[in-house]
Structures are given as structure tokens and as C-alpha cells.
Amino acid sequence: MATPERPTVIKVLLIGPSSSGKTSLLKRYVDDVFEPDDTTTTIGVDFREKKLTINKKLYRLLLHDTAGQERFRTLTSSYYRGAHGILLVYDVSNRDSFLSMAGWFAEAERFAPEGVIKILVGNKTDRTAQRAVKASEGEELAQKYGAIHFTETSAKTRDHAKEPFQKLIEAVISTPGALDANRPVAGSSAVDLAKEDPNNAGCAC
Amino acid sequence: MNIESLNQTIWDAVIVGTGLRESILAAALTRAGKRVLHLDRNPYYGSEYTALSLDELETWARLHQADFHLPDLQDPPMLAKPRSYTLSLSPGLLYTTSPLLSLLVASGIHESLEFLRVGGWFIYRPDTGADETLTPVPNSREDVFNDQSLDPRAKRLVVRALKSILGLEGGSVADWTQKSLQEYLEQSSLHLPSRIISAFASLTLRHDRPGEIPFEEAERDIRNHFGSIGRFGPGFAAVIGRYGSGSELVQVFCRAAAVTGNAVYVLESDIMNIENNIPYPSWAVEKQFKHEDSIGIHLQLRSGDSIWARHLIATADNLPGGIPIVESLPKPLVEDRYWLSVCIVSNPLQNLLRTSEPPLAAGAVVYIPANALKEDSYLNTHPIYIFVHGSETGECPDGQSILYVSMKGDNKRFLDTAVNSLLNKVRDNNGSTGQILLSMKFENTVESRPLKEANRDSSLHILGKHTPLIEIPDAVLDQVIDIYGDIVGSRDTFMEKVEVEEGEPRDNKDTIFE
């Protein structure tokens, strides 16, 4: 009997300043959309998980949120390990939020694996009256720092809310090497701590 | 957690420094629902447990008066980009039986980490022509019997000593409580040669000479070593965390604390002043914080923030000097000085990483006994350990390895001598010995401080200075659980798994928006 296909893991991070709506976007995406093959579950509170079937292939999408460590710019370098894609999220109704993005691109450049795929997101488009950042500015910034895509969203109204995730996943899957290059995640050499050796006879003395 | 200013709350605990004990404690306290402000004066996580890239290491060396040496021989340059390196100040291994590993699994935190095998232990001895200079330490009775360098009688004696130490022999070892490991192994009925004594001593991971290691302690260490073999697979007793071992553990614990929503992390934040037993300000009383106490700790940060806390946890060297609370702390009982070095070498040292079954191990331990190396006509007075981390650790590019060298106070020049001696014995596939591409040497002390003995019931929890060496010791966890018990009132709940968070209801559109 054939063993069930093992899903390919895609690790996606959300980064950006406090109150840009990262968690709202994540929840909107995970709990709402994208032809989920299976129901969405949360493992602990460390990351959210979504199972996807794309072109008949199984993927396990792991979405990591900043857990408040973005507030004082104290994300750990281990947070970035093995990431395939990063969504950089700012708030279009907050100029400072946008101005901090150069720093977030620099941090991603410094800690994330080489070749990680980046998408820039201007969130909270529903706040039309308070808009403080033009879409063209976001576009420009995305180009300047090598983000492959820019989009404006509203987690509240669902306006384009799935798009950054979908674009990111598409790009990770279709870019040659993006899924495996430079990422020794869970290689065969790693020890599985959850699995004690049943043949363990202790010392052979 | 709601965005609130740091000084508008009474923190259950302020923890200063992000070393391993502090980070485990932060994770445990926040999981128990305590609110924690976790500070570090450095711009990076880890304190003495940190790992650094090449350029960060150079800065660290300058700030800590370490001896940073980049040999002027690289044409073409052999060092990769600075960020290709993760050079750890806490490269230590964990035995597979370590309670810390069990805790990681029980708490689910292990999923964010990767552990790799530490393969063999080796003894290096000067080339006398008679013996091999680099010999593996036997892992089992079979290994002893397969050892070509031992005659049949010696093999029997080694196995007898081993069985006796492991408690498998009927006889009693009771009379050895006051004696050293060396005395035990040299007793007339065993009379083992120094090479075998070195092999036993290497398993203790202690930096004392075999004649200085109390037999009882050695017995415990050696039992622990052999008891750890096979737990997660055949042939290895210990593991290291990928990307710097201790430094990665620290970061994962800090993130675990953050994801509870009960911790706030601030780096580059220093405490200027500490006052204890100060009445809480009126706003705190007005806000009706749920606590019976009305006095607590008041801290002044360099940023100007004024912080209130019920408990303060820190190592003394992370607190400001010159203030009464710090000056009145008990002085450390014992202080040992160590020389340590971090070396990048252009030799993958694969022969040391080979194990009975592929793939290659990620680490290996080399023990150089006292009096084995000569430097300016002096011999090394203490054993030297070289902890080899291969490129599988992610700490360096392929074709290189990182050597973490440690020894008790001595001439620091032995550190490089030790590395060069080893390189000369382990040629790579092209027959080349490789060379030191970079070395950083620094001195450190290990103190044993009574953990809050002098102020048993107070809210100040001062940790002894801890210097990570070859092993991440179990005692790290004991200290943390003690403090946790003091703060939470029970040790039973320590690091319980967090309840799985429910997803947002799908039709609840408005609450999704923050």
C-alpha cells in the first residue's frame, strides 16, 4: 500500500510595526479562505497552520506571527530560520508605520535565509479618511527592496485580504529553489526528541 | 497583550539578562499567567549564551577585551561572508537524558529547535611512537574488546572498572568516597595506564586533572554518559542544538514566553537603580491590581522609565554596581578562571564526525590530558577540551568547522597549540591539515554563589554567574524551578503545555479587526 503523501512545509512570517494588522490579516486568511483541503488548526499559539492542495500536491503552510516582539524590535534571529516567504505589513493610515518599513526590510535581509520571497502589504484601506500613505509609495518601496509584489488590503472588509498570502505561496512554489535552497530544515540528521529509541538497551556493558 | 506603557503596570517579575536560566524562567512564568518584563542591556538575545556572526564577534571581542585574531595568511581569502557564521558563546551539549530535553518535549518547545548528534569522544596524546595520538573513547564493552591497542588483560581490567563504576559489578565501591578518579583507576587490582584514565576523565567533561576529580562525582558523570547512549538512536550520548546550541535554546524560550502574550521584551535596556520594599504608587492602588502586597521593587531604567515589580531576577553582573542592594549581595564562594576560545578552521574534521551509522555527527569532543602539550618549554597544567562543531550545525560553511576550546586557568597560548596539534592529526580528503582562519580567546570565571541564601524570603532572586562550557548542566534547571516555586507558589505547574488557542469564529467579522 502506498504511504500517504507527506505535505511540503512552507514557512511564512509576518513582520512589521505594531498595530499594522498582521494578526488580523493572518486570522482573516486562515479562518476564511483558499479552498482549504482540511480544516485549519492552531498548534499552541506559536504558529497557525493551514493545509493546502495546489495542483494536486499537498502543502502544509505554517504562518508565524511576531508575538508582540515587534513592539521594541526584539524579534529573535531564530524566528527567521527556514522561512520561505515574508509578508511585510504596514498601516496605510499611519505614516510612521510606513516609514519604519525600510528598517523591517533590513532586518529581513539580515536574518532571513538568502532568496526568501518578500511581499509588501499596506493594510487598513478601510480607513479611507485617515489614509497617510499613497499606494504609489508602497509600490516604490516594494521595488526598492526587492519585494516581488505589493498590495493594499483590509482585513476588516476583506479587501484583497487573501491576495498577499496567495501571491506569496504561488511564488514560493513556482520559484525554482525557493522551497529547498539554503534551508536544512529537519534534515535526516536531526534527532527526533519525541521519539525514543524502542531498542534502547542503554549501555551495552 | 494590549499596548501599554511599561510603567503603568506592576510586573509580576522583571527579569534582567536573557541567558538560559532567565529565558527558561520567563517562559515558565508567563505560561503560569505571570506578567514578565524581560530586559537585556545588549542589542542581542542570550547574554553569556549568545551566538554572533563574524562581525558581531569582533565587536564583542573589543567590548570584552578578548583576543580577536585574524591570521594574515589568507590568499585567496578563505573566510566566507560574516553572516555565514554563527559563533556561539554557549556551544554546550545536552546529554540525551538531560531533564532540559524532557522539558522541551513536554512543553512542546522542541518543535522550534533541531538537535543534532554529538558523535565520538577522542583522546589526544603527544606522539610517542608507541600509541596512536588520537584514539576514540570506547562507547561499549564491544568497543573495548575491539580496541587493537589494548592487550587481552588490559581489556578485561577496563571492562571491570567500567562495570564497577556503572554499578553492574556485585562488589562495593563504597570505600572510594574520599578518593579521586585517578586513585580509583590506579588501585592495585586495576592499575590502569594513564591513557585509560584520560578516557574515563574525558567523560566527566570536567576541567580538573583526574587526580583532582572526586571519585563520587566522576562515577555519577560516567554513569550519566553511558546511561544516555541509545536513548534517541544508536551510538550517541549527547546532542547539540543547531545554530549555536545554547544560544538557539535561549531564543526559543524567549519566543515561547512572548507567544503567551504575558511577556514584553526590551533589548538595549539597562537598569540604573533598584529600591526594594517601596509602597506602590497611587495609580496602582486605584487600578486595583490583584495582589495582597502593597510594597514592591522600584526600578529606574536608563531610558527613564520607572518600573514596578513584585520580583526581580538577574545575575549580579547584569545589575548596576555601587548601589546598596547589589553591594550587599553574598560574595561568590568559589571562583574558577577559565580560558576559552572560538576558532574557525579550514578543515571539516570529518574523521572525527564519523559514527557507526551515517550520516556524519555534528559534533565531537576531543580531550587533551594535562602535560600533553608543550609551549615555551612549559607543559599544560590542566586538560584541554576541544568541542568540534561541524558545518552541519549551520555555524559555518561546508569545508570548515568551528572549534570551541576550554581549559582551566593556564597559559592561553595552549588554546591555539591545542587546535594546531589536532589539525595536524586530522587531514581532510585532500590530505590537507587546514589552518586556523580566525580565533578569539577570552577569559571567564565560573562562580558558585548560593542562590539567594542570604535573602531567602525576599523578592530579589540573584543568580550566580554562569559560564557555559562544554555541557549545558542540569543544575541550570534546578535553579529556575526553585525561583519559579518561590514566585508561583508551586513547582507542579512548571512549564505546562499551553492550551490550544481557538480560531476566531468565522462569522464574527467585527472582532477580527483590531
Confidence of residue B505 (pLDDT cuts 50, 70, 90): very low
Superfamily of domain A8-174: P-loop containing nucleotide triphosphate hydrolases (3.40.50.300)
- CATH architecture under which domain B140-228 falls: Orthogonal Bundle (1.10)
| pLDDT above 80: residue B84 | yes
Roughly what angle, to the nearest 10 degrees, separates helices B475-488 and B99-106?
A: 50
CATH number for the segment(s) B52-88+115-137+234-241+334-447: 3.30.519
The three grid cell numbers given for residue A82, joined into one nine-digit string: 527556514
Mean pLDDT of A184-199: 73
Answer whether residue B506 shows pLDDT above 50. no
**Which regions of chain A does DSSP assign to beta strands (E)?**
8-15, 41-43, 47-54, 57-64, 85-91, 117-123, 149-152, 190-191
Q: What is the mean pLDDT of residues B306-322?
A: 91
Cα separation of B368 and B112, whole Å? Answer: 35
Query: Which range among A64-78, A99-113, B69-83, B500-514 shows the weakest confidence by mean pLDDT?
Result: B500-514
Beta bridge partners of B116: A190, B240
**What's the pLDDT at B511?**
27
Residue of B nearest to A28 (CA): B512
pLDDT for B497 beyond 90? no
The tens digit of pLDDT for each residue in B403-437 reads 999 999 778 999 999 999 999 988 877 788 889 99
* DSSP letters for A25-62: HHHHHHHH-S--SS--EEETTTEEEEEEEETTEEEEEE
pLDDT at A177 over 60: yes
Kindly state whether A114 is in contact with chain B, defined as any CB-CB distance less than 8 angstroms.
Answer: no
Domain ranges of chain A: 8-174
Instruction: Parse chain B into domains and list their residue ranges.
Output: 6-50+245-332+449-488, 52-88+115-137+234-241+334-447, 140-228
Q: Bigger pLDDT: B340 or B284?
A: B340
The per-residue pLDDT for B90 is 96
Q: What is the mean pLDDT of chain B?
A: 88
Which one of A31, A185, A203 has the shortest CB-CB distance to B166?
Answer: A203
Q: Which three cell numbers stand for residue B137?
A: 573513547
CB–CB of A42 and B254 under 8 A?
A: no
The CATH code for residues B6-50+245-332+449-488 is: 3.50.50.60
Q: Which of residues 73-102 of A touch B (CB under 8 A)?
A: 73-74, 76-79, 81
B6-50+245-332+449-488 and B52-88+115-137+234-241+334-447 have identical folds? no
Q: Is the pLDDT of residue B31 over 70?
A: yes
- Confidence at residue B457, expressed as pLDDT on a 0 to 100 scale: 53
Chain centroid, CA B6 distance in Å: 31
Query: What region does B46 belong to: left with phi over 0, alpha with psi -120 to 50, or beta?
Result: left
Percentage of chain B beyond pLDDT 90 is 63
Q: Residue range B311-317: average pLDDT?
A: 91
* Inter-chain touch A42–B500, beta carbons under 8 Å: yes
Residue B149 pLDDT > 90, yes or no?
Answer: no
Question: pTM for this one?
Answer: 0.92
Least confident of A95-104, B212-221, B361-370, B495-504: B495-504
pLDDT of residue B510 exceeding 50: no
C-alpha cell at B141: 564493552
Question: Of the segments A200-204, B327-331, B390-394, which one has the largest average pLDDT value?
Answer: B390-394
- Residue B152: φ, ψ to 5°: -55, -35
A200 touching B (Cβ < 8 Å)? yes
Side-chain half-sphere of B98: how many Cα atoms within 13 Å? 21
Number of other residues whose CB lies within 10 A of the CB of residue B490: 9
Q: Is A24 on the interface with B (CB under 8 A)?
A: yes
Say which residues have a Cβ less than 8 Å from residue B52's Cβ, sequence separation at least 6: B44, B60, B86, B87, B89
Pairwise CA distance, residues B379 & B372, whole Å: 7
pLDDT given at position B409? 79
Higher pLDDT, B433 or B99: B99
Complex ipTM value: 0.89
Please judge whether B255 and A190 are an interchain contact, meaning their C-beta atoms are less than 8 angstroms apart.
no
Residue B450's pLDDT band, with cuts at 50, 70 and 90, is low
* Alpha carbon distances (Å) from A126 to A24, A95, B82: 13, 16, 44
